[in-house]
Each structure stands twice: as structure tokens, then as C-alpha cells.
Structure 1
Amino acid sequence: MSAYEHEVKALLSAAGVPVPRGVVVDDLDFGRAGELTEPLVLKAFGPGLVHKSDVGAVALGLSRKDLAGAAAGMRARLEVAGFLVEEQAEAGVELIVGLVRDPGFGPVLLTGLGGVWTEALRDTALRLCPISEEDARRMLASLRGSSILYGSRGAPPVDVDAVVKLLMTVGGPGGLWERLELGEFELNPVIAGPSGVIAVDARHLPAPGPAPGAPRAATDFLPLFEPRAVAVVGASTTRPNFGNMFLGFYRAAGVPLVAVHPTAAEVAGVPAVPSLAEADVDYALVAVPAERCAEVLREAGGVPFVQVMSGGFAETGRPDLEEELVEAARAAGTRLLGPNCMGVYSPRGRQTFVGGGLGPAGQVALISQSGGLAGEVIKVGERRGLAFSRVVTVGNSADVTPAELLCWLARDEETRAVGLYLEDPRDGRELFEALRAAELPVVLLVGGRSGQGQEAAASHTGGMVSDRRVWEAVAEQSGAVLVAGQDDLIGVLAFFQAHGSRHARGGVLVVGPSGGASVLAADAFDLAGVRLDPLPPDAPAALRGLGVVASGNPLEVPVGPLGRAGLVPEVVSALLRSRPYGDVVLHVNVQAFFTYGDAAEPLYAYARAVAQAQAALPDTRITLVTRNGECAPPGVEDEVRRIAAAAGIPVYRSMEAAAVAVAAGGRHGVA
């Protein structure tokens, strides 16, 4: 049951939040209102009266003699338990301040333009609680209508410090969010003016908080990624299936291997034991029907990690089978990966769930709730030069969670950047804390952020806290990079892999041919939120001797089959002597090399010159964009990537992809 407004305002007043002076009247005797200053506001309260203005339970601008008549009219139409009479606040900027418990991430604070503008403009910002004072100020500054807070068209600025104090009282450390049984809580409107703020309307819909789970001791996941030996449960002696496919993958990887089969002595040439109880392994993959999985896990005592590949659990409406599976894993003392997941990939540990052999061991990790997408990122990423340390698919995350894995990977000596693909974080609050604690770059790709299906909420706050906006707040507060698609996930990870050890400082310079491409490059970087700094004042003189006109940033420099391969590096070096640029993005039109020339060697020569420039500029991060690369003969792009990768230069096919990656580098505080 929702608390009545005067009860919520008593709570606010005790917390130091200014509220209008008022009195509560249980009948139609309004004598106690004589101590209040007109004009007055009359509000009815009672069961179901949540949105009072929608049902005519609010009257403004009243005198004392108007109260009884207005109250009688409300009582005739509504189920009324009593009335709240308040002094009417002076006009000002109307804001909304609200709290809601997100199912995945817990308490979320929202603020924005309030009153009649809340639904009309939906100009709001959110952060996960607890917020910092910097969070509060960034929230206000991010509003499209923020100018009215700081003084606009001759109006005086509001007391922004008072607004920040209110946000901290509600959503900061020790704030109301910690003390409320939080379903939905909303102050709308809060009137802000030059002399402070006042909460003129308030509502609270309590809801019981989630029962805290028992803390689990930290797990060492090294045996998951580098097992001494692996068992496969579910391979057949008569009909090849998924289990047999994985036996083949593991045999090719060379990891010590055993099959689990009730009767066979061997399966597809792999020695077999009758149950997991007889398997001396660190990791077991289970590929049997969902109904049999719990039985298999009950025999897994002594096996540190069991991955259930099988589907058919909570994701298909069978949470009972998933609960039984988790109970079986706990009884056996094993950690459960999945169910409904593909497994683990780690070249260093000969772990794999994809065919085609193991790629090079590297320093990029991936946590994915989708096995199929993880396989794509591995294969496409390796084709583009990514080298992985650890890849793990978690499926339904019934036991091992993304947050646990991220905490471990953040301390893993073999990992320097982590990507995550998530749909349902399961442990949102723990994941948020892990993201904030991680000191290495983290890239987030989230499925299902569109918020297509949003349940009706009793408050405006509840209606405006969508999955997409919560994830944006998570990224903003944690420093993680939120990307929109798989290609950008791979591209940003490639940037961190190439430039993770280069802590460059300075602006962004874009250099390449073609006026139109330069204009579009400027648009791409602007869309990604990256500012292109102007050329230094002495650029015309510095470039004149090289035959280049200092036209601006992006800078147009001829690059083609008949051009001199070293010209662009010389131009960059000349400019860097006058102004530091932390990022230099070089783009080339690959199509021109094969339309106006007949050999790949001039393109390779350009790539080698760029690689030499990177070696000579350790404090600058060079990124190469090979526009129209599909116009090159087969193998040419791969060779350009190989030359660039050897020098620690990431390569992108489009300016848009490069802009997203460079923006990510800056967001993580290394630009």
C-alpha cells in the first residue's frame, strides 16, 4: 500500500528536504488551516489516489474560505480518507526527482524537468545509487533543458547547489534510497528557484527489498580456462552428436581428454569412464537432455567446473529443472557454467568450443551470454587481429555469473581488456560494482536494450527507467564503454589491444585524401563525441615545404598509387612538433590503388611507412582506416592488417568504426 503524501513529506522534512508548510484535516473542519498563508493548495488522499491531478484530487490558488467547498466536491466524487492543506509554493523551475528499484541493478535515481514537462519532454537523466556529487552535477548538466537551471533569456539561475544537495539526500551515500522499502518513490514537482528548492508533491509505493543471498567465497577460475584434463559427457558410440563434435575439437587442441559413457570403453578413439565420479579432470562438458543433467552433476564431486551445454531450462519455461541443476551442483561441490551455453575458449589452456583450431594466445577476454555470438567474435576477431586470453560463455548464469568472472579477469595477469555481451545480467548490482572496481578497459554490448515491453508504472519515474537507459547509466558511472553492435565490440577491443600500453595525451588529428571523405570523417567523429582539434598556428609554414596546404582538421594529404609513401608520416611528424595529438587517424582509399594502379605494392609501402611512424612516435596512437577495402584483390587487406598489427596499429574499414574506437580510448581515460 502506498504511503500518503503527508507521511512521505514528514520523512522528507526529517531528512532535511524543504516541503511546504501544511496541515492534515480528517473531516471538513479547516480551522487549523488558519495559520497558513494564502494562496493555499488542497489535496485529497485516500486508497488509490496516486495521480491526484488526473482524478481532480488537487485544487490550487485557494483562499481559506474556499477550502470547505472544494473538499466537499472532492469527497462527493472520490473515496477520500482526509485532506492535506499546504501553502502554495512560488513559481520556479519544476523538476522531478525519483527512485525506482530496477530488477537487475537495484535502486536507480532519476532527475529531470518535472511537472507538466515530465511526460511531454521526458528530459531526464539517471544513475545507479549511490551517486556522487559529481554524478549529480553531470546529471543536471546532461539535460537538454539544463540552460534554464543556469539562467536563460534573462531569468535568474536556480540554486543548483540546493538541487545537488537534494539529489544527494535522496540518492547519495546514506540517502533515502537506503532507508526506504523501495518500489517507487517520486518528488514531482520539485520547484527550484534562486533561493533553494521545495518538494511540493511526493509519493512512495513501498515494496519489499530482495532477500540478500549468502556471500560465496571467491573462486579461482584458472582451472576453468587452463584445465589439466577435460571430460565430455554425452558423446555417442553410434550417432555423432554435439558431444562427439566437442571430442573432436578437444582432440585437435591436444588437451588430455576422457569421455563419459555408461557402457563403452572408448568413444571415437577417446578412453571412456562410466561416470564423472571416475573422471580425474578439472572441467567437464555435459551435452545430454535437460532432464538428465542434474543426475550427471550429482556424480561430479571432485570436478571443479562443469559446463552444461544443454538447453531446455528456465529459458524455455522450465525453471524447476534449472533449480534442480543448481542444487545438484552445490551438493557435488562443483561450480556450474550455464546451462544453455557453449563453453570456454582459451588458446593458452587448450580450451575450445569452436572448430578450425586455436588462434594465438593474447590479452583480450570475453564474457558472453550467447555462445553463438561468442563464436562469431572469436573467429571474426582473430581474422581482424584479435588474440584472446579467455573467452567464456555463461548462458543462463544459474551459478557462475558475469560479475564473478569479471572480478577474476580484472586480476588475471594474462588479460588487459574485457568485452561483455549480456542480455540478462542476473547479478546486476554485483556486476555494477565489478565494473566500477575494474582497472582495465571493459567494453559492453547489451542485447534487449530497446525496452519494447515496459510494464505500466505507478510513477513517472518507474515509466522512464528503461533497460537502455539503465545500461547507459551503468557505463557512465563505471567508465565502461557501451557499444551498439558486434562490429564495434570487436573494433573497440582491437583498439585497446593495440594501444593499451600507450597512454597518450592530446587531441585527435585525421589525415587522408579526398575532400568529401574528410567532411564525412569530421561528421563521424562528431557523432562519436570526439572533438577534432584545430591545426597549430604554424601549420601552413610547417607543411608548405612538403607541398601540402594546411586546410584544417581533417587534413587533406594526397595518398595513392603514384604518391610518395612517406609523405603522410612526414606531415604528421611536422605537425606534432608544434602540437601534441594523442590520436592520429590515417585513412586511405584502397579502391584508388587498384583503379589508378595495377599492383598492391604501393599500398603495402604506405602501410610500412605508417608502421615506421608508429615506432617513431611512442606517445601517439596511430589508427589506420582502409576505406573501400573490398575493392582490393583477395589477401591484400590481410597483408595490410598484418603490417599494421606488427607495429601495434588497429585497422578499420570505415571511419565510423574508427571514430567509435577512438572515442572509447578517450572515455577510458587514456586519450
Structure 2
Amino acid sequence: MSVLPEHAVKAWISGFGIGVPRGATAPDPASVEASADGLAPPLAVKAYGPGLLHKSDAGAVRLGLGSAREAADAAAAMLTALAAAGIVPDGFLVEEQAAAGVEVIVGAVRDPAFGPVLLVGLGGVWTEVLRDTALRLCPVTEDDARAMLDELRGRALLDGFRGGPAADLDALVEVLLAVGGPGGVVESLADRFTEFELNPVICGPSGAVAVDARLIGPDEAPPRPAPPAEAADFGPLFAPRGVAVVGASTKKPNFGNMFLGFYKAAGFAGRLVAVHPSAPDIDGVPCVPSLADAGPGIDYALVAVPAERCAGVVREASGIPFVQVMSGGFREMGHPELEEDLIAAARASGVRLLGPNCMGVYAPASGQTFLGGTPGRPGRIAVVSQSGGLAGEIVKVGEQRGLAFSKVATVGNSADVTPAELLRHLASDPGTSAIGLYLEDPRDGRGLFEALRGIRTPVVALVGGRSGQGRRAAASHTGGMIGDDRVWTALARQTGITLVTSQDDLIGALDLLDLHGARTVPGTPEVLVIGPSGGASVLAADVFDGAGLDLAALPAPAREALRALGLGAGSSLANPLEIPVGPRANPDLVRHAVAAILSERPFADVITHVNAQSFFTFGDSADPLLAYARAVGDLQNEQPGTRITLVVRNGECAPPGVTGAVRAIARAAGVPTYRTMESAAVAVAAGKRSVDGAA
């Protein structure tokens, strides 16, 4: 690891327009006085050299010196103290001490997955005490820089706190852009740094000055990952003309046999062959002795043999566009050499590799599948997942709730085909309206960032391991400020994707985006919540507020219109709005109430909720609840410029099949249905962020 001296870093960054104090260097204390001649007190003296990465901790900084002579004396005392600690400095830096102001840290670190990440926060000792920082992936825009400052809890200090002068925010933004913007410090360094830090940058009413600067680089630049082979068309991956399955047995059923059965059950209409050295057929599927003998029309090969045999199989796959390796036992199990051999085999045979350690692809329209049973109806929702099991759950649970999928790809270790590549393909697919991601290690994080910035299709991401894997600090404070969770949050803020924390929320958000994504609605954060029970409404207010959604007050004309409908007696006409909903209530009241409100104030989102328990505590038939669902569907048809969402609370109190029937009625009208206010709030927030960008 190489560390440049502070004065050399400052001289370099001044060329990017970053302000630094006037100063000079001296090889020893006796030379400090002459070096300081012409500098205006108060002065600061610092020692530099090996062992002085953290100068303040080592006692290698003296401030507030009134003259060049005092600076020399301070350097002499510093030298003695450092020698006692076994530290021999290379020299001393004497500078004009910057005027007082707010101390800010500006830094950049190379994240292992996403590359350069910019950080800003309260600096000096506050960096460690408060850890009040904001992150963005580089390069940043001016909007990014200003949003980062807005996120700081200590922002009030920059604005002038308790009569103090406000800092020059424009100057601080210029520093952020000089470090992390296009053509800035980070871009100029490329791979030649591990960590860059300005701490502190002193921000005052007349500008921003970097009074300390640190640049840490590896002894040599890390190797760039080999670029993946080009794939002109991912179409054959999702709609292959033919499929070859390697690994099925004539004696003991295994994963290969299971997949042959899946394709037969799915009604795959293309050519299906098994690879076996001697058998004429397996389970009624004709065999070929090797992939090299598969013949024309095979676009996809599924390999389910032990890990050590996979590379050999892939070397026989020349002419087949895509090979999926289901087998595990590679990098994820501590055998990177087997994965490297597999990649080399794919390169040699000219195929694109999906996996290893993945389940494959699901595309109902073509019969491509990794799931048993009859495929669901083709739809417009796509998913890319690093977990095959989780992808199967998303598909099966989603289809049970009425969702329909266009293309689902599992990528496992992503040794060749990456989530970023598939994301770009799916975003250009006219048959896909929303994309879900489940990722743990994106492999090409920088490519993922760039892909997300360049697409308009709504994306919802569930990220595994966000709290369990902090990034190790590189060498100083900045590295310790950056971790997996915060990088993903920065990615979401820069690209507009929605991050969720559970599989259920991922499915729910995709449901809303699919049904409501094409609606043209007011781009505002306000929502209207309407339903029974004051207590439930109060809790709903808390939930939606926590999701960043605003329950705006109802205007006076709307309240008058509601009174004309007989509402308001015994309850307040507020948002959330309490209305009678139950087995003896008028199911159309919700339609009339919402129409009265929307005629006076537009709401992009209306969440109507119902308590299923009350329908069967005070009634004995499902008909009133189903009638209410039809009324909600009619409301959506009458209000196409509003997103209507239905919440069926306490659905377990309904007889079997009733909530499913409610969901089906609502979905036929384009209304997504949720079981809790919490899940609805996540989905509605996803719609606002991904579709109209209001939240």
C-alpha cells in the first residue's frame, strides 16, 4: 500500500479547483522557520512520513502557532515526541491555518462490487463520533451533491445554527463535484487508488478549504475483471428452439431427470434431447452421446453433473448459444479454481454461461422452465435472481396471487452472464413492464449501476446480506463509513429503483407496478386512505407516514360533499377517512366518497381498506364482501387517472377461498390487493418512486 505525502496530494488536487491552505515543506525543524517566512499566522505544523497515516492520533499536528519561530519550536518538540514513539518523519509541512468553520469530510473509496463511492459528512472528530454521512456512486451530478448535503442530520450547522454564519454551500458542492464528478479526482485516478480523503474540509461563509488530504493506493492496480463475451441476443435464452439436458440417469432419477420431466409437463414445443453416452432414450426423451452430437436447433443446454465434470461438458457445447450449469460446488463452496476452469471452457467453446449454481430460466410463453407443473399464464413481470429457490417462490407465490411473468432468470454465481446484462435486455423487452431483482453479490456492480441509470422500466430490488457484510475499512475513516447497506441505498437514490426488505414486499411492489405502471396520475406524494375503524385508520396514518407518503388534508368543499353523502356524523372528515364498511353497509359508498374527494383534490393513490373479520362476525355470507370488491373495481374503472389499492385486513377470518375471490375481482379491474397496511404502503411507495418519481 502506498501513501502520498499530504503536501503532494494538496498540490495535485488544487489543479481540480479544490482550495487548500498556503504552505511549504521543511526537511527538519531547523528549516521550518525559513520555510514559514511569508506565511500569515496563525500557522499549523504537521509531520509527514511512514507511520503517520493518522497524524492527529500520533501527535504530529500543532495548531494556532503565532509566528514562524513558534512553528519551528513546535516542530522540534514534535520530533522529540515522535522519536520516543519510534517514528522518524520524512519532513514537516507548515501552513496558514484556515479560518474557523464547519468541518466536513469528503472522501472516496473503491467498493469491491460497485467501484468508486463518494462520501460527505460532518468531519474532524465528528466523523467517528456521529457517523453522519451520505453516499453516492461516482460519478455524481450537482443534484446528487446537493441531495447528499440535504441527507445529513447536521445540515443545520451548514445553514447557520443559532445565529452562526451559513457556510458557502455552493463552494462545498464544487468540492464534491471536483472529487466525484465527471473529470474529477476519482475519475482521473481510475484504478490507481484505494481511498481518497479530505478531512476536514473547513466550510465558512466565504468558501471551502481542504486542510488535510490523504491518498492511499495499492502497490499495484487491481486487475480488471475480464469483460464477458458479447451476446447479440438473449432471445434464445428465454425462447430456445431446442434444449439439451446433461446428467439424466437411466438407473437412479436425479436432477437431470427432474428437468426432463419439467419440460415435458410444461409442454415445451421445441426439440428436447438428453445427453447420455449409451442410452437411446431417457424417460421417453431421445438421447445423444454428447453435446457435440446434439445437432442443429439446440439453443440451450442444461448441465447437472458434478462440478469437476462441468468444464469438460461445456467444452463440447460449441455452437450452442447458452449453457446453464445447475451444479454447485464452485466459488460458493471454496473452489474458485473449478469456476475459473468453467469460464475458460465457455470462452473456448464460444458459449454464454448461465450460473453455475443456478436453477435456470422460466418463460411461460415459450415453455422454458425450471419449475414443475403447468406454467402460469404469460405476463409482463420479469425477475433476475441469484437464488434459484427464491426465484421459484416468487413465481409460485406470485402466480397464486394473480401475477403473471414474462421472463425469469436465475444466475447463481454469475460467472459469465451478469444481472446487469440481463437487466439491460429485459428493460428493452416490450413485453416486460416491471423488473424484480434478488441479488447478493452482483459481480459487476458498476455495470449494474450504469444499466440502472440508463433504463426507464420500473425496478424493485431485494438485496440479501445487506446488514451482515460490512465493507472493511481501507485505512482511515472514509472506508469505515461505507458498507453494503449504504451503498445499495445510494444506488437506489441515484437510479430511482425501489429497495424492499422481504420477498412478500417484492411480490407486492411488482404487482402494483404491473397493474398501475401505465396509468398517468398526478406526480405527488399525497395519498388518500379510506375505510372502516378509527383505530385502523390511525395505525394506517403511522404506516404511510413511515413510508414517506403524505396523507394530505381534505379541502373544505370535499368535506361538504362528504356530508351530503351522510358522512361525518360521529366521525371526523379527515384523511384517513372513516366510512361504514361491513355486511350491512352500502358497498358503493366508497365509490361516491372517493369521487367527491377527487373532484376537489387530485390524489395519485387511494388506498381503500376493509376488515374481513367484521363481515363474518356480523354477517354469515361472503356476498357483501364480494360486492364491496366489485364496487372497488368499479371505482378504478371510473377513475382511470388514480391508482386504487385494496387492503383486505384480517383475511384469515374469512371462509376458505373468499379472500382469493376478492383478489380476483379486484385484479380483473386492475386493482392490486394486499393483506396488511404495511405491505400496501411499501407497494404504493414503490409506485410513486418508480413510476412518477414523486416519493
Aligned mates of 1:388, 1:664 — CA distance in 2 = 19
Q: Deviations over 1:47-104 (max 9, x none)?
A: 1211100110111112322223322232232221000011111111110000111111
Mapped contact 2:505–2:682 kept (Cα < 8 A): yes
| Structure 1 position 13, deviation (Å) | 1.6
Superposed, which structure 2 residues align to 1:174-323 within 5 Å?
A: 174-180=183-189, 181-207=192-218, 208=221, 210-211=223-224, 213-214=226-227, 216-255=229-268, 256-279=271-294, 280=296, 281-323=298-340
Matched, 1:384 2:397: no
SS of the residue aligned with 2:342? helix
Matched, 1:393 2:404: no
Mapped contact 2:470–2:482 kept (Cα < 8 A): no
Superposed, which structure 2 residues align to 1:537-552 within 5 Å?
A: 537-549=556-568, 550-552=572-574
Mapped contact 2:324–2:356 kept (Cα < 8 A): yes
Structure 1 equivalent of residue 430 of structure 2: 413
**325, 336, 350: which one aligns with 1:333:** 350
Structure 2 equivalent of residue 75 of structure 1: 79
Q: Which moved more, 1:205-214 or 1:569-578?
A: 205-214
Matched, 1:629 2:647: no
Superposed, which structure 2 residues align to 1:570-581 within 5 Å?
A: 570-581=592-603
Aligned mates of 1:72, 1:553 — CA distance in 2 = 70
Aligned mates of 1:648, 1:24 — CA distance in 2 = 71
Q: Deviations over 1:382-412 (max 9, x none)?
A: 1111100000000000111101101110111
Aligned mates of 1:292, 1:650 — CA distance in 2 = 47
Aligned mates of 1:503, 1:485 — CA distance in 2 = 28
| Structure 1 position 154, deviation (Å) | 1.2
| Structure 1 position 209, deviation (Å) | 5.1
Whichever residue aligns with residue 66 of structure 1, its letter is E
Structure 1 equivalent of residue 581 of structure 2: 559
SS of the residue aligned with 1:34? coil
Aligned mates of 2:157, 2:88 — CA distance in 1 = 39
Aligned mates of 2:111, 2:469 — CA distance in 1 = 16
| Structure 1 position 179, deviation (Å) | 1.4
Aligned mates of 2:479, 2:168 — CA distance in 1 = 27
Q: Which moved more, 1:324-333 or 1:116-125?
A: 324-333
Aligned mates of 2:166, 2:652 — CA distance in 1 = 55
Structure 1 residue runs without a partner (length 5+): none
Mapped contact 1:249–1:355 kept (Cα < 8 A): yes
Mapped contact 2:469–2:484 kept (Cα < 8 A): no
**101, 104, 108: which one aligns with 1:99:** 108
Aligned mates of 2:482, 2:573 — CA distance in 1 = 46
Name the TM-score, length of structure 2 as normaliser. 0.95
Mapped contact 2:24–2:94 kept (Cα < 8 A): yes
Mapped contact 2:606–2:643 kept (Cα < 8 A): yes
| Structure 1 position 457, deviation (Å) | 2.7
Aligned mates of 1:509, 1:387 — CA distance in 2 = 28
**523, 527, 539: which one aligns with 1:508:** 527
SS of the residue aligned with 2:56? helix
Whichever residue aligns with residue 551 of structure 2, its letter is L
Whichever residue aligns with residue 658 of structure 1, its letter is A
Structure 2 equivalent of residue 529 of structure 1: 548
Whichever residue aligns with residue 593 of structure 1, its letter is F
| Structure 1 position 356, deviation (Å) | 2.7
SS of the residue aligned with 2:57? helix
Q: Deviations over 1:308-356 (max 9, x none)?
A: 0000011111111111111111111111100000011110110111113
Mapped contact 1:561–1:596 kept (Cα < 8 A): yes
Q: Deviations over 1:485-524 (max 9, x none)?
A: 1111111000101101112114311000101100110111
Superposed, which structure 2 residues align to 1:17-36 within 5 Å?
A: 17-28=18-29, 29-30=31-32, 31-36=34-39
Identity of aligned residues (%): 65
| Structure 1 position 214, deviation (Å) | 4.5
Whichever residue aligns with residue 69 of structure 1, its letter is D
| Structure 1 position 669, deviation (Å) | 4.0
Matched, 1:111 2:120: yes
Structure 2 equivalent of residue 611 of structure 1: 633
Matched, 1:351 2:368: yes
Mapped contact 1:106–1:428 kept (Cα < 8 A): yes
Aligned mates of 2:540, 2:57 — CA distance in 1 = 50
Mapped contact 1:451–1:466 kept (Cα < 8 A): no
Whichever residue aligns with residue 58 of structure 1, its letter is V
Matched, 1:435 2:435: no
SS of the residue aligned with 1:563? coil
Aligned mates of 1:216, 1:325 — CA distance in 2 = 14
Whichever residue aligns with residue 632 of structure 2, its letter is V
**90, 93, 105: which one aligns with 1:84:** 93
SS of the residue aligned with 1:112? strand
Q: CA RMSD in A?
A: 1.2
SS of the residue aligned with 2:678? helix
Whichever residue aligns with residue 562 of structure 2, its letter is L
Structure 2 equivalent of residue 42 of structure 1: 45
Whichever residue aligns with residue 3 of structure 2, its letter is S
Aligned mates of 1:511, 1:210 — CA distance in 2 = 57
Name the TM-score, length of structure 1 as normaliser. 0.98
Structure 2 equivalent of residue 660 of structure 1: 682
How many residue pairs align between the two structures? 671
Q: Deviations over 1:239-297 (max 9, x none)?
A: 01111111111011121311111110011111111111122411111100001111111
Q: Deviations over 1:529-559 (max 9, x none)?
A: 1111111221221011211115211111111
| Structure 1 position 216, deviation (Å) | 4.1
Aligned mates of 2:688, 2:554 — CA distance in 1 = 19
Superposed, which structure 2 residues align to 1:573-612 within 5 Å?
A: 573-612=595-634
Mapped contact 1:91–1:191 kept (Cα < 8 A): yes
**451, 454, 464: which one aligns with 1:447:** 464
Structure 2 residue runs without a partner (length 5+): none
Mapped contact 2:265–2:373 kept (Cα < 8 A): no
Aligned mates of 2:321, 2:675 — CA distance in 1 = 43
Mapped contact 1:44–1:57 kept (Cα < 8 A): yes
Mapped contact 2:266–2:373 kept (Cα < 8 A): no
Matched, 1:13 2:35: no
Aligned mates of 1:52, 1:380 — CA distance in 2 = 57
Q: Deviations over 1:542-580 (max 9, x none)?
A: 011211115211111111111111011110011111111
SS of the residue aligned with 2:177? helix
Structure 2 equivalent of residue 2 of structure 1: 3
Aligned mates of 1:371, 1:119 — CA distance in 2 = 40
Gap change, CA 1:624 and 1:424, over 3 Å in 2: same
SS of the residue aligned with 1:263? coil
Aligned mates of 1:535, 1:580 — CA distance in 2 = 10
Aligned mates of 2:559, 2:135 — CA distance in 1 = 46
